[in-house]
Amino acid sequence: MHTRRLVKRSVLGSRVYAPSPTGDGAPVTGVVQAVKQENRDLSAAGARRSVYTVLMQDGSLKEFFEEEIASGFNHTAAKGPLKSSLKQNSSNGAPDGQKVEGSCLSPEPAEEQRSTDGKRVSRDSDTRSVSLLEQKRKVVSSSIDVPHARRLEEEVDMDKVTAAMVLTSLSTSPLVRSPPVRVSEGLSGSWKDNGSAGPFTPSSNSSSGGYWSWSAPSDQSNPSTPSPPLSADSFKPFRVPSLGGVGPGPAGPEDPILDEQDGSSLLFDEPIPRKRKNSMKVMFKCLWKNCGKVLSTAAGIQRHIRTIHLGRNCDSDCSDGEEDFYYTEIKLNTDSVADGLSSLSPASPSVLSPPPPPPSPLPSVSQLPDSHKPTQPSDTKEPHACGTTPLSRSAPSALYLIHTDHAYQATAPVSIPSSSSNNSAGSASTSFTPTNSSSFSISWQSPPVTFTGTTVSPSKSQGFGDQRSQTIAVLSSPPRATAALSRKVRGEGKKCRKVYGMENRDMWCTACRWKKACQRFTD
DNA sequence: AATGCCGGGTT
DNA sequence: AACCCGGCATT
């Protein structure tokens, strides 16, 4: 499966070298359009061979056996057949980003293809549903002591593939394009931090802080990270954080299957515009001197540059990507983020306030090509203020119900709140976008678990009104919930110790005697 | 300081 | 599983 996936994923759309059609020996480049199994008994062994349909520079389609073509710009890596060269990448432990770069960096056609690949889209929904759990698992695994042999290997694999993906999407941005290597290094570096040298101690809460540090910062706060060129990509930032933060879940740190899915989800999720926030319109602006042409599509701007400024007259396939240097993307705020926020906050303030987890969303939204950075998004929304006084406005009863509802579903609340607060103290609160609500709500709902406890014991001697207010309090301050999470809220009722006193310790319930939660006078 | 409990250790 | 206890959080 692994292999198959790799091939499928990496080869399609990859730029490869193929023998010159003219036979003059000079290899030409093309983009793999399709792969199929050749049944004919061509090879000596009679084994089936893969046949790659390659779109050549001149626009023609040609078929090659895998032995005939080589992938990547890196000639050394291109020695072997396509498939095997890819495999090497994945199994080779050396953090050598070059190979990945070679095969994945440049082909932006690949990116386009992927985003339109129907199979992946459907498949994605499956993957996505588990991705949260997986992510958690992944994080956990990185901080837990686990036999490294196998895991490391896969991790490296992931690093590379992911890095490649990132690079791929980045490659179309003129601003970052030049120092691609740097970007890749930064990326893999931060990952590694988490993976092997995780500063977090296993099993302790502190690891929570690490959640965000591994994905969010590296992916977003990195100033050199430009937003991806394609609008469809704009939601990518959301994903990463949601994954990192939420991931509650049982998870065998070393489960290869999960790992794989994880990897695939990471790769395939991105191009799917599903979650995309539609309030942003992406335009592409030509940066050529004295030419401020703005087009709505990347293809359009590329063609414009290619034909007008570069004087080339072939279609996109013969481009070497140079156009990318001459345009930049601009994000236009059609219906401002503020709108979305303001409309949201009144509805369920409590839900909004807690989700500092989406530190990611904000950055993503405001993150524009380095050059044009309208700080608008963050400024426009001060609903921020609402977040601080959420409860006061909404009907308590409503909240009550809502939370009761979800409390049971909650899994691991994860320390999203805390981590997020670190991450983007100022901006975090402003960051919730409607898009996100789904992902983070899950994570922060869990804390209310505590609350569940209170509800369950209506028999309590105390007035319901009291209880209710308490509950509300808990809800209104999600951050606290975190604490509640780790430790059961101290029951306010009398306990064996109080009732019987130390002198009658033998009358205590066993739990009390054992310094456990009292079983006799439960709250 | 007293309590209530969790996490962990020991038997 | 029963039993204990260190240590932390809350009161």
Same structural domain, A409 and A505: no
The pLDDT assigned to A501 comes to 82
User: Which helix (H) or strand (E) covers residue A403, if one does?
Assistant: helix A396-407
Query: A334 near A280, Cβ under 8 Å?
Result: yes
A389 touches strand C (CB under 7 A): no
Q: Which residue has the higher pLDDT, A288 or A451?
A: A288
Q: CA A172 → C1' B10, Å?
A: 63
Average pLDDT over residues A493-497: 80
Same structural domain, A100 and A242: yes
Q: Which residue has the higher pLDDT, A307 or A467?
A: A307
Same structural domain, A79 and A141: no
Residue at shortest CA–C1' distance from C9 = A487
Q: Which residue has the higher pLDDT, A101 or A285?
A: A285
Same structural domain, A121 and A238: yes
Residue A491 predicted with pLDDT over 60:
yes
A505 touches strand C (CB under 7 A): no
Average pLDDT over residues A493-518: 83
Q: How confident is the model at residue A509 (pLDDT cuts 50, 70, 90)?
A: confident
- The count of structural domains within chain A is 4
Residue A102 carries which DSSP code? Answer: I
A497 touches strand C (CB under 7 A): no
Q: CA A205 → C1' C7, Å?
A: 16
The pLDDT assigned to A64 comes to 73
Same structural domain, A414 and A347: yes
**pLDDT for A23-41, tens place per residue?**
555 666 776 676 666 544 4
A457 touches strand B (CB under 7 A): no
Q: How confident is the model at residue A21 (pLDDT cuts 50, 70, 90)?
A: low
Sheet holding A70-71, edge to edge: A61-65, A49-56, A28-38, A15-18, A70-71
The pLDDT assigned to A32 comes to 64
State which residues between 490 and 509 of chain A bring their CB within 7 Å of strand B: 490-491, 494-498, 502
Same structural domain, A369 and A494: no
Same structural domain, A127 and A209: yes
Angle at A430 between CA A471 and CA A486, to 5 degrees: 40
Q: Which residue has the higher pLDDT, A261 or A15?
A: A15
Q: Would you say residue A480 lies in a domain? A: no
Average pLDDT over residues A199-221: 34
The pLDDT assigned to A298 comes to 81
Q: Would you say residue A126 lies in a domain? A: yes
Same structural domain, A162 and A246: yes
Residue A169 predicted with pLDDT over 50:
no
**pLDDT for A251-273, tens place per residue?**
333 333 333 333 333 333 333 33
Question: Which residue, A244, A261, A276, sits at the end of a domain?
Answer: A276
Same structural domain, A101 and A229: yes
Average pLDDT over residues A286-308: 80
Q: Would you say residue A250 lies in a domain? A: yes
Residue at shortest CA–C1' distance from C3 = A514
Q: Would you say residue A47 lies in a domain? A: yes
Same structural domain, A110 and A250: yes
Nucleotide nearest to A490 (CA to C1'): B4
Could you write out the DSSP letters of every residue in A214-246?
HHHIIIII-TT-PPPSSGGGGGHHHHHHHHHHH
Domain that holds residue A424: 335-445
Q: Would you say residue A380 lies in a domain? A: yes
- At A188, give phi and psi (nearest 5°): -65, -30
Residue at shortest CA–C1' distance from C7 = A515
The pLDDT assigned to A52 comes to 67
Question: Which residue, A445, A480, A514, sits at the end of a domain?
Answer: A445
A488 touches strand B (CB under 7 A): yes
Q: Would you say residue A479 lies in a domain? A: no
Same structural domain, A71 and A121: no
Query: A243 near A251, Cβ under 8 Å?
Result: no
**Chain C: bases < 7 Å from a protein Cβ:** 2-7, 9-11
Same structural domain, A346 and A252: no
